[in-house]
Amino acid sequence: MKTIQGPAIFLAQFMGDEAPFNSLDTIADYMSKLGYKGVQLPSWDSRLIDLSKAAESTTYCDELKGKLADKGLVITELSTHLQGQLVAAHPSYHALYDGFAPANVSTATLGNDKKRREWAKDQLILAAKASKNLGLTTHVGFSGALAWPYLYPWPQRPAGMIETAFKELAKRWKPILNVFDDCGVDYCYELHPGEDLFDGTTFEMFLDYLKGHPRACINYDPSHFVLQCLDYKAFIDIYHERIKAFHVKDAEFNPTGKQGVYSGYSSWANRAGRFRSLGDGQVDFKAIFSKLAQYGYDSWAVLEWECCIKSSHQGAAEGAPFIQKHLIEVTERAFDDFASAGTDETLNKKILGLM
């Protein structure tokens, strides 16, 4: 067993135009004062990190780490959620995703997503190299999706369509994962609605087409499983060997006579399933932290704040002590060691009637 590191926080949802959320210096000060020890950086925000420079220069990376160390912080992971989304995008979402990439590679400009996909692949390769230069061994992001619009099997899907989608998804990701492998970094997919990898079954399908690629791992986020009515505790039992990152996020699912999982196109506040600040939802974090500790998870517990009711300021302030309270300092000895008779092979044989 190993002790989980934390508390840490994902900065993506906090960045804005107003201080202290508009620069690395000021947001780092803010989060450090709240009690966080680590920050997960969205690699698409140049106010936080110059991804190209980080991929090329260990000096830049050392300076970045030093700046945060002076504030009592470390970088836990880099994130490429937005770039990863663009590795595979069904055409029906092209316009919605154009904001994730520069205008010169948008589908509105080019009429297709080939250049945008190339840009996304290049970004992921830069992220792998940057992670290596920063001394990181894990990375988080999305998989993208080709088959998501056909999630519900009506109208009937043509035979083999899902297999074709996953075969293509694996084909696009394999060379990227190979670079992550060369850099000694695990790519941790956040299993998330809107991605073709959204639960255990889809992750296994993807892994099969990748022939079990060692760098294809999981960013465990129980909130997405609550909204799917998936057993998020059993998920850890099944996939703990692939869980290399952890988003600590709460959620609740309250079905009514009017709506359930699909929630009738309601707004976030009015959905049956909705994200909540830590402690305000239904996730059993005591069980989750216990299971992760039992299975030897020793990476970071990273708050991802998303709540349709509570402010980000309050969510961040409450998040650090919440995570700290759930961290388990794992035991180094058995509780009944006081009654141990020691190790003696002769005694063991005698007890078993073998002599």
In the chain, where the domains are located: 5-351
Region 325-341: what's the mean pLDDT?
76
Topology (CATH) of 5-351: TIM Barrel (3.20.20)
Does residue 351 register a pLDDT over 90?
A: no
Report residue 160 as tokens: 């083999």
Report the pLDDT value the prediction gives residue 337, as an integer from 0 to 100.
64
pLDDT at 334 > cutoff 80: no
Model confidence at 27: pLDDT above 70: yes
Residues 15/27, Cβ–Cβ less than 8 Å: yes
Q: What is the pLDDT of residue 217?
A: 98
Question: Does residue 339 register a pLDDT over 70?
Answer: no
Q: Is the pLDDT of residue 343 over 80?
A: no
Q: Does 287 have pLDDT greater than 80?
A: yes
Task: Tell how many helices (H) and how many strands (E) occur in the chain.
Answer: 14, 10
Hey, what are 130's tokens? 């940057």
Q: What is the DSSP letter of 99?
A: G
The answer to whether 222 and 288 are in contact (CB under 8 A) is yes
Closest CA to 210 of 232, 242, 237: 242
pLDDT (tens digit per residue) in 52-78: 999 999 999 999 999 999 999 999 999
User: What pTM did the predictor assign?
Assistant: 0.95
78 close to 127: Cβ distance less than 8 angstroms: yes
**Cα 317 from Cα 179, distance rounded (Å):** 37
Q: Is the model more confident about 346 or about 251?
A: 251
Locus of tokens 């926080």: 9
Give, as one character, the DSSP assignment of residue 127: H
Only one residue has tokens 């060369």, namely 182
Structure tokens at 18: 């107003």
User: Would you say 211 and 157 are in contact if contact means Cβ atoms under 8 Å apart?
Assistant: no
**Rg (alpha carbons) of the chain, rounded to whole number:** 22
Average pLDDT over residues 235-243: 98
State the Cα–Cα distance between residues 27 and 29, nearest whole angstrom: 5
Cβ of 61: how many Cβ atoms within 10 Å?
22
Contact 6, 328 (CB under 8 A): no
6-19 confidence digits (pLDDT tens): 999 999 999 999 99
Average pLDDT, the chain: 96
* SS3 call for 216: strand
Using DSSP bridges, classify how beta strands 138-141 and 216-220 pair: parallel, antiparallel or unpaired: unpaired
| Average pLDDT of the segment spanning 257-274 | 96
9: its two tokens = 């926080």
What pLDDT sits at residue 344?
81
Query: Would you say residue 1 has pLDDT above 90?
Result: no
Evaluate whether 24 touches 67 at the Cβ level (below 8 Å): yes
DSSP 14-46: G--SSTTSSSHHHHHHHHHHHT--EEEEETT-T
Phi, psi of 53 (to 5 degrees): -65, -40
Report the DSSP pairing between strands 250-253 and 273-276.
antiparallel
Is residue 331 scored above 90 in pLDDT? Answer: no
pLDDT above 70: residue 108? yes
Burial of 144 (0-12, 13-18, 19+ CB in 10 A): buried
**For residue 220, which of 280, 289, 266 has the smallest C-alpha distance?**
289
Measuring CA to CA, which residue among 19, 11, 14 is closest to residue 42? 11
87, 175 in Cβ contact below 8 A?
no
User: If DSSP codes are grouped into helix, strand and coil, which group holds residue 139?
Assistant: strand
